[in-house]
Amino acid sequence: MLSSVISYFPTWDVWLQAAIACLVPIVASFVYKKTYSLAGKGRNPNTAENKKDPDPPAPNNSPFSGDYATDLATIRERIGGNSDLCSREFRMAKLNVRATLFFVTGMQNDRVLDLQLMEFLMFEAGADVYAEPERLHDQLPFNNLFEAPSLDSFNRSVLFGYTGLLIEGQPSGLLIECPDGANRAVQEPLSEGLLRGPRLSFTEMLSVNTSMLRRQGLSEQLEIKTFQVGTRLQKDLALAYIKDIVNPDLLEEVKARIQKMDFDFIAESGYIEELIEDNYLSPFQQLQNTERPDRVIAAMLEGRIAILLDGTPFVLIAPATFSMLLQSPEDYYERWLPSSLLRMLRFAAAFMALMAPSLYISFISFHPGLIPTELALSIIEARQGVPFPSLIEVLILEVSIEILREAGIRLPKPVGPAMGIVGGLIIGDAAVQAGLVSPFLVIVVAVTAISSFSIPSYSAGITLRLLRFVGMIFAAFLGMFGTILFFLLLCSHLTKLKSFGVPYLTPVSPFRPRDWKDLFFRAPRALMKRRPAMMKTQDDKRKS
């Protein structure tokens, strides 16, 4: 009797797996907190280590001396070593005074410079202009014409693309904007292609990008504020939002984080994303990046804020939630029934892209009894002769697919897609013929790869591809216990994660049933009368 009861108790290896499954979340939580606290010291300006480092020297603000020869010599001493800097000294005929133009080759419109500026200054500028420099604003055909506050500001502006004008007898220099140069034309979005919708994407010119937002629709409530970021090399950054919709607290928080950024050079919006996000140790992006103006406008109408940086076509949207990463602008351009179906397919594809290899390892190595008998026999027969355990078998194919995917992106466009398809077919078939992997695994890996391609956001796809390998390791050590544990740890992290104070899993956690109308499916537009409650907007009504 006792032996029959004991026979129902799990074996020692099952108890060991259960014990490890209980210890893993405790150890993972401890390691995460310790790592975050150590890494956070580098971002906290109040730590003792940071207080030891002296503040970087403030930029010089040398004033103009008022003496033409002295100021000219100072300017040439400081920036005259640049080979692309041109200085054109001439005499203003009617005034009989000297003047010098400073400009960088390739950044000015030479025709405008010669015919409108030089001709006027050399032959037409009279005593009234000399006596009243502000008269230049009335007579020169330039929108941006202003007085430089200091020599250093004058030098930086000239090197950044402005034309500098120094006139003998004047107390300071003038800066004139007549830009020119190679700029990319407006094209279709490369990373967010649609079948139905606008064919416009942002460019590298900030002024062009802000004008695209203005052209989306007439509104005096669309407000754009400009900042300068970077300590060594400065660039323009703009915040765009709908003034009567955005939450003022959110706006102040975004401004504060941007003003606290301390970095030599902000080359791309990815720098900003990493510097201002809530948790930079999380694998999940907490700001959405896009190159579509229509997506930015739709986000701002929900109360979000757009961050535009000069020199990049990718705009950041804050705050971001997990559901945003699986939504496509095309969901709102098609009717609600097909859009809802496609969105639910995307959520299912994201789950498969994350969990399919882990489930395969769990079933094959630990729980074959959960597979239907006929299918299990077929898989066992196909795996005959495979010399590797399931983890190594999956890693061989997954790593090969990731290498092919990366190579396809880096190769020229005519070659990349063909190489990816042919390479995948050849490697998969060769691996099966050589007995390195089973045919069933090739199907699993192919479905996983195709599912990852259905995610609209490339950055979100990278995150799922990274976490897929972590889930495979959990499954290889603990079987289905490890797979479930990995999924629960992931859910707990997402529940704790926030983006500018907005919970990342909203409206699932915290539960907001009103916002479920635009979550897994898109409700008819007539029912979407209010903006997302999580944004705490000033005006929460979409329809007046």
pLDDT tens-place string over residues 253-273: 999 999 999 899 999 999 999
Between 122-131, 367-376, 465-474, 476-485, the lowest mean confidence (pLDDT) is in 122-131
Q: For residue 180, what are the contacts with CB-CB under 8 A and spacing of at least 6?
A: 106, 107, 108, 109, 110, 112
Give the angle subtended at the CA of 363 by the CAs of 282 and 355, to the nearest 5°.
25
* Average pLDDT of the residues in 88-106: 86
Q: What is the structure's pLDDT at 6?
A: 59
Q: For residue 240, what are the contacts with CB-CB under 8 A and spacing of at least 6?
A: 210, 213, 222, 223, 224, 296, 300, 305, 306, 308
pLDDT at 91 over 50: yes
- Could you give the CA distance from residue 337 to residue 443 in angstroms, rounded to a whole number? 30
The pTM for the full model equals 0.79
Q: For residue 203, what are the contacts with CB-CB under 8 A and spacing of at least 6?
A: 183, 184, 185, 186, 209, 313
pLDDT at 404 over 60: yes
- Could you give the CA distance from residue 44 to residue 67 in angstroms, rounded to a whole number? 46
At residue 54 the predicted structure's pLDDT band, cuts being 50, 70 and 90, is very low
Token pair in block for residue 219 = 């509104």
Strand, coil or helix: 509: coil
Strand, coil or helix: 378: helix
Calculate the alpha carbon distances from 490 to 196, 284, 466 in Å.
34, 11, 13
- Could you give the CA distance from residue 107 to residue 183 in angstroms, rounded to a whole number? 11
At residue 139 the predicted structure's pLDDT band, cuts being 50, 70 and 90, is low
Query: Which of 32, 33, 34, 36 has the alpha carbon at shortest distance from 280?
Result: 36
* Average pLDDT of the residues in 460-464: 90
Query: Which of 464, 224, 518, 439 has the alpha carbon at shortest distance from 352?
Result: 464
* Average pLDDT of the residues in 247-255: 94
Query: Which of 430, 431, 405 has the alpha carbon at shortest distance from 420?
Result: 405
State the Cα torsion 532-533-538-543 to the nearest 10°: 50
pLDDT at 287 over 50: yes
- Could you give the CA distance from residue 508 to residue 326 in angstroms, rounded to a whole number? 14
Beta-bridge partner residues of 93: none
Q: What is the structure's pLDDT at 528?
A: 86
* Average pLDDT of the residues in 435-458: 87
At residue 136 the predicted structure's pLDDT band, cuts being 50, 70 and 90, is low
* Average pLDDT of the residues in 31-46: 53
- For residue 106, the 8-state DSSP code is T
Place of tokens 């990731």: 402
Strand, coil or helix: 522: strand
Q: What is the structure's pLDDT at 47?
A: 39
* Average pLDDT of the residues in 218-234: 87
pLDDT in tens, 178-223: 766 556 777 888 888 888 888 888 998 888 899 889 888 877 888 9
Token pair in block for residue 15 = 């108890």
Higher pLDDT, 36 or 350: 350
Between 113-127, 210-224, 229-243, the lowest mean confidence (pLDDT) is in 113-127
Asked if 177 and 163 count as a contact pair (C-beta separation under 8 A), the reply is yes
Q: What is the structure's pLDDT at 97?
A: 86
Asked if 166 and 102 count as a contact pair (C-beta separation under 8 A), the reply is yes
* Average pLDDT of the residues in 323-352: 91
Higher pLDDT, 486 or 82: 486
**CB neighbours of residue 216 within 10 Å:** 17
pLDDT at 55 over 80: no
At residue 368 the predicted structure's pLDDT band, cuts being 50, 70 and 90, is confident
At residue 50 the predicted structure's pLDDT band, cuts being 50, 70 and 90, is very low
- What are residue 438's phi and psi, to 5 degrees? -90, 155
Taking the domains of the chain in order of start, what are their residue ranges?
Answer: 60-176, 206-320, 334-503
Average pLDDT taken over every residue of the chain: 82
- The dihedral sign for the CA sequence 500, 316, 404, 360: positive
Higher pLDDT, 418 or 238: 238
- The dihedral sign for the CA sequence 405, 406, 412, 415: negative
Higher pLDDT, 390 or 111: 390
Q: What is the structure's pLDDT at 408?
A: 78
